[in-house]
Chain A
Amino acid sequence: MRASSASRAMSAGLGRRVLRKPIAVISGFVLIVIVGGSFAAPWIAPYDPLEQNLRIAKEGPSLAHLLGTDSLGRDILSRLMFGGQESLSGVVVAVLSMLILAIPLGIVAGYLGGVFDRVILRVVDVLLSIPGTIITLAVLAIFDNNMVVAMVSVGVLASGAFIRVFRSATLSVRQELYIGAARVSGLSQARIMVDHVLPQIRGVLLVQVTLFAAATLGIQTGLAFLAFGPPPPAPTWGGMVAEAASLIQTDPWMLVPTGGVIALTTLALCLLGDALRDANQERFTLAGLVGEKVVKTTAPPPATPSPRLATAADPDDEAGVPGAPDALLTVRGLSVGFGAAGRETTAIQRVDFDVSPGEIVGLVGESGSGKTVTALAVLGLLGANGRITAGSVRLGSDELVGMSSAKLREVRGARIAMISQEPMGALDPSFRVGSQIVEAIRAHERVGRAEARTRSRHLLEAVRLDPAIASRYPHEISGGMAQRVAIAMALAGRPDLLIADEPTTALDVTVQADILELLRTLQAETGMAVILVSHDWGVVADLCSRAIVMYAGEVVERAAVADVFETARHPYTAALLRSNPHGAEAGTLLPTIGGSVPAPHQWPHGCHFADRCPLVTAECREAPVEMVHLDGDRASRCIHIDELAEAKV
């Protein structure tokens, strides 16, 4: 029974959520007025719908006749009110016939599955290939203009599409825990479908009913427009449009109220349906993602205020990274925000580092430390949502921050290139591998197709692939091969700097070593610089000369790799090194760092690592910690560096 109360509680909020939407309330009100006005017409309509008065024929709106009069001087408003009865009850008939078929068949197909599902789906396929209009017209021909039977056939013919919708709604409900609980508790299948599945798909049902009602109103009035249904002088909405159509030369006004009432009703139904759909989706997000939703809505503005960005933006005043005039890439005070301007969440801040020509630098940290954001910011590829809020990225003598997109395009590929984590997602599934490499080549060089193809063959050979692979599609090659293709694409523009964002994380262990070996060889052959983003110290030790350690959006330590392995000068680096399987002693448990990287809106005011740090003191939490410069070009963002050296944490 707990299961049933849970399902009831979940659907109970739907009505309230809908009522909170102004559009839904207005649409509902409009519908009530139209439906009420139609069915109360005998009592409240100002005139008899059939009463003729030729002296006032074809008049526009007036106080006596709010919507004017038709060609026989009949009051249009009264005729619309009476006509609504026919159209609206036709819609109700069609919706009911659709529901009577679609609800049981949809739920049975989705819930019981198996043979039921297959048979019902076959029937649906047939229903969907029958041209509904013709059948409806045939029904009208056979049943001597009987609109009720015609609307039943409209409902029956449309049920196919709705059986599919209700079936897939049931499929997703079937996975829910309380359905399983109900089954275990011994309820019969029929009871579960009626008591538990049906209330759960209520939201989807309501949405579909409103949208189908809107579509049906179009068909009903359309048929009346074609002179089916009650013969004149009986008022029908469609018939009145037809009358207006015959008067467009002399009295175009009549088109407005007759078409208007149909449009208004349809619009109200559609908007109500949309509002119901939104409310229903909110229910699912609320039910499934309570924690996440709360975080999103209550997220305070980033605790880190922007004043410090002002200091970081000034290259001379920034944390005093040794100037490197010969550096290939110089990143200073780089900060990135995501979200709407003014309310954005800071993802990385005050990031400084250099890359020299031909050097391999490791960018190290746990997931969420800001490595990938840093890499994307350098390329100016943060997407529509993110932007660089402060700092500078210099490539040689060119400033990339604020560069026009046309200029930036010339830099990408030709001077800085990138390979990403997910090789399978990195290739466009619709094009052959070779054509994507050719495209990358021709993005920067005016070469003919034949020459580009030759070059792409050379590139494939350079990444140790059979050039014949060029004619394959991405889904026909393995992840390791796809990563080699991605590398070939990155090399196509002969870049000076390659950013490799965890290039082996998504690959099989056996393939990882090959790809790293390939990167090392290519670097040696081309002399390009590489930024290797990684969380694996083994890889960094293997390939890189220097390491930049990031934590929660900040650079916490910069050092030569050999020095880092000798002594870490930041508690986070030390903890990372200890939890790395490559350096672990055999037979001992692998230590892990307690806790996790805080999300940007949870960053502490002081040291970002304070909550997980063994050396933390009150002082650490007081103010943001600046970079401390040590011997050589080492630097660490820690105020306890000396203790760290003694304590050997």
Chain B
Amino acid sequence: MARLIVTRLLLSIVLIVISSIAIFFLMSLVPGDPARTILGANATPDAVARLQDQLGLNQPLLVQYTTWLGGAVRGDLGESVFSGDPVVTLILARVPVTLSLILLSTIVIAALGTGLGLLSAVRGGPVGTFLDAISLVGLALPSYWVAIVLVALFAVAIRIFPATGYTALTDDPGAWLLSLVLPVAALSLGGVTIVAKQMRDSAMDVLARDYIRVLRSTGVRERTIVLKHVLRNAALPSLTVLGLTVVGALTGAVFVENVFVLPGLGTLVTQATTSHDLPVVLGVGVFFTLFVIIVNLIIDVLYGVLNPKVRVQ
């Protein structure tokens, strides 16, 4: 187990270096002068030259990258072109918002997806049909549109939840939760249906296995069989899908944060994109990559915990 984690971590470091190179060199493919693009056509040549200097654009690409990487290792991702604030400071201020949103969504997706999937595998019939219908809706409706409709229904028509804004957990836990209910609902809909469908398929597969029949033949209660043996064995493939949906929730968060005006990484990167603030975009990119890698690592470890065959190797 420890070996698994160490090898995965080493692999992650390699992966993060490679993907940062990819991001960096992709950006160098820009035709023309990035500084000119950032500042717009009306900028003075003086300002363009200053920005070129600040971004290190007049140095060879390799030097640019190693300078950036050297800074990144020390926790320095440069400064915002506009506000001049350190990128790391900007990001760290907004991490709690995005993390709250994604953590809560993950809990909702895992709990509801597993529950619905298991229920429809065991009961079939109406639950299965309901699941199919909901999953079509979840697939077809864009998450930002769902978010707006939720606002229209539960914040405008019936004033239960705040339409926009965010309250920090440390300020007021109740208000924190209330401000996240609608965003989390909008963000989880798609994931719940995907996980539920996977759970249903693998639970039905497990229910057809010999060992389930053997357990029944020894008189073990059906509830125990479903909640212990079916759940445990069907959880493995569903876990992989859960990992993918959590990574996907990152993209969804960018849209949902914009609808609900949550001060998270999603709104930060959208604003930075609109204003061509490259160092901020790059910094958020590194954070998102880090997030993807951590999610994958957690999934791998959980997989090992749940699957005795992996644990031994």
Residues of A whose CB lies within 8 Å of any CB of B are 125-126, 129-135, 137-144, 214, 218-219, 221-222, 225-228, 241, 244-245, 248-249, 252, 255, 259, 262-264, 266-267, 270-271, 376, 379, 381, 383, 405, 409-414, 417-418, 420, 422, 425-431, 436, 439-440, 443-444, 473, 475-476, 486, 489-490, 492-493
Name the one of A221, A241, A493 contacting B219, with C-beta atoms under 8 angstroms.
A493
B144 touches A425 (CB 8 A): no
Known A138-B281, A420-B214, A430-B229; contact A263-B30, beta-carbon cutoff 8 A:
no
Bound complex: CA of A233 vs CA of B215, how far in Å?
66
Name the one of B26, B37, B214, B258 contacting A418, with C-beta atoms under 8 angstroms.
B214
A248 touches B222 (CB 8 A): no
A414 touches B141 (CB 8 A): no
A225 touches B222 (CB 8 A): no
Name the one of B141, B251, B292 contacting A259, with C-beta atoms under 8 angstroms.
B141
Bound complex: CA of A214 vs CA of B277, how far in Å?
31
B214 touches A126 (CB 8 A): no
B292 touches A263 (CB 8 A): no
B251 touches A132 (CB 8 A): yes
B141 touches A131 (CB 8 A): no
Does B303 reach chain A (CB closer than 8 Å)? Answer: no
Contact residues in A for B307 (Cβ distance below 8 Å): 430
A227 touches B37 (CB 8 A): no
A486 touches B214 (CB 8 A): yes
Contact residues in A for B156 (Cβ distance below 8 Å): 248-249, 252
Known A143-B30, A267-B136, A410-B219; contact A137-B273, beta-carbon cutoff 8 A:
yes
Contact residues in A for B282 (Cβ distance below 8 Å): 138
Within 8 A of A (CB), among B120-165: 136, 139-145, 148-149, 151-152, 156
Give min CB distance, B185 to chain A, whole Å.
Answer: 16
Does B278 reach chain A (CB closer than 8 Å)? Answer: yes
Contact residues in A for B289 (Cβ distance below 8 Å): 129-131
Q: Which 6 A-B pairs have the closest CB atoms?
A: A413-B219, A131-B288, A425-B210, A267-B140, A440-B218, A413-B218
Does B82 reach chain A (CB closer than 8 Å)? Answer: no
Contact residues in A for B141 (Cβ distance below 8 Å): 259, 262-263, 266
A133 touches B250 (CB 8 A): yes
Known A410-B219, A430-B308; contact A129-B15, beta-carbon cutoff 8 A:
yes
Looking at A133, A134, A259, A492, the one whose CB has the most chain B CB atoms below 10 A away is A134
Give min CB distance, A147 to chain B, whole Å.
Answer: 13
Give min CB distance, B156 to chain A, whole Å.
Answer: 6
B148 touches A248 (CB 8 A): yes
Bound complex: CA of A352 vs CA of B293, how far in Å?
63
Contact residues in B for A214 (Cβ distance below 8 Å): 139
Known A431-B229, A476-B312; contact A412-B269, beta-carbon cutoff 8 A:
no
Within 8 A of A (CB), among B205-260: 208-211, 213-222, 224, 229, 232-233, 247, 250-251, 254-255, 258-259
Looking at B37, B217, B224, B258, the one whose CB has the most chain A CB atoms below 10 A away is B217
B26 touches A430 (CB 8 A): no
B15 touches A412 (CB 8 A): no
Name the one of A132, A241, A439 contacting B145, with C-beta atoms under 8 angstroms.
A241
Known A142-B34, A439-B224; contact A228-B219, beta-carbon cutoff 8 A:
no
Chain A binder among B17-25, B60-68, B101-109: B17-25
Does B272 reach chain A (CB closer than 8 Å)? Answer: yes
Contact residues in A for B218 (Cβ distance below 8 Å): 412-413, 417, 439-440, 443, 489-490, 492-493
Does B285 reach chain A (CB closer than 8 Å)? Answer: yes
Give min CB distance, B122 to chain A, whole Å.
Answer: 10
12 contacts between A and B (CB under 8 A): A126-B15, A129-B19, A131-B247, A131-B292, A134-B281, A142-B30, A225-B144, A418-B217, A426-B214, A439-B224, A440-B220, A443-B218
Does B200 reach chain A (CB closer than 8 Å)? Answer: no
B26 touches A137 (CB 8 A): no
B210 touches A426 (CB 8 A): yes
Known A381-B216, A430-B233; contact A142-B27, beta-carbon cutoff 8 A:
yes
Known A131-B250, A248-B151, A381-B217; contact A138-B23, beta-carbon cutoff 8 A:
yes
Q: Chain B, interface size: which category?
A: 35 or more
Does B306 reach chain A (CB closer than 8 Å)? Answer: yes
Give min CB distance, B188 to chain A, whole Å.
Answer: 16
A428 touches B229 (CB 8 A): yes
Bound complex: CA of A129 vs CA of B307, how far in Å?
24
Contact residues in B for A473 (Cβ distance below 8 Å): 308-309, 312
A429 touches B140 (CB 8 A): no
B285 touches A138 (CB 8 A): yes
Looking at A142, A244, A475, the one whose CB has the most chain B CB atoms below 10 A away is A142
Bound complex: CA of A222 vs CA of B259, how far in Å?
11
B216 touches A270 (CB 8 A): no
A140 touches B19 (CB 8 A): no
A138 touches B27 (CB 8 A): yes
Give min CB distance, A502 to chain B, whole Å.
Answer: 13
B217 touches A263 (CB 8 A): no
Contact residues in B for A426 (Cβ distance below 8 Å): 210-211, 214
Give min CB distance, A119 to chain B, whole Å.
Answer: 13
B308 touches A241 (CB 8 A): no
Give min CB distance, B39 to chain A, whole Å.
Answer: 11
A137 touches B30 (CB 8 A): no
B148 touches A255 (CB 8 A): yes
With both beta carbons as reference points, the residue of chain A lying nearest to B247 in the complex is identified as A131
A222 touches B255 (CB 8 A): yes
With both beta carbons as reference points, the residue of chain A lying nearest to B135 in the complex is identified as A270
Bound complex: CA of A476 vs CA of B313, how far in Å?
12
With both beta carbons as reference points, the residue of chain B lying nearest to A424 in the complex is identified as B210
Does B52 reach chain A (CB closer than 8 Å)? Answer: no
Contact residues in A for B142 (Cβ distance below 8 Å): 218, 221-222, 225, 241, 259, 262-263, 266
Name the one of B37, B213, B274 contacting A420, with C-beta atoms under 8 angstroms.
B213
Does B262 reach chain A (CB closer than 8 Å)? Answer: no
Bound complex: CA of A368 vs CA of B215, how far in Å?
25
Contact residues in A for B15 (Cβ distance below 8 Å): 125-126, 129
A425 touches B219 (CB 8 A): no
B144 touches A417 (CB 8 A): no
Contact residues in B for A440 (Cβ distance below 8 Å): 215, 218-220
A444 touches B219 (CB 8 A): yes
Known A142-B37, A414-B219; contact A245-B214, beta-carbon cutoff 8 A:
no
Give min CB distance, B215 to chain A, whole Å.
Answer: 7
Contact residues in A for B216 (Cβ distance below 8 Å): 381, 409, 412
A141 touches B273 (CB 8 A): yes
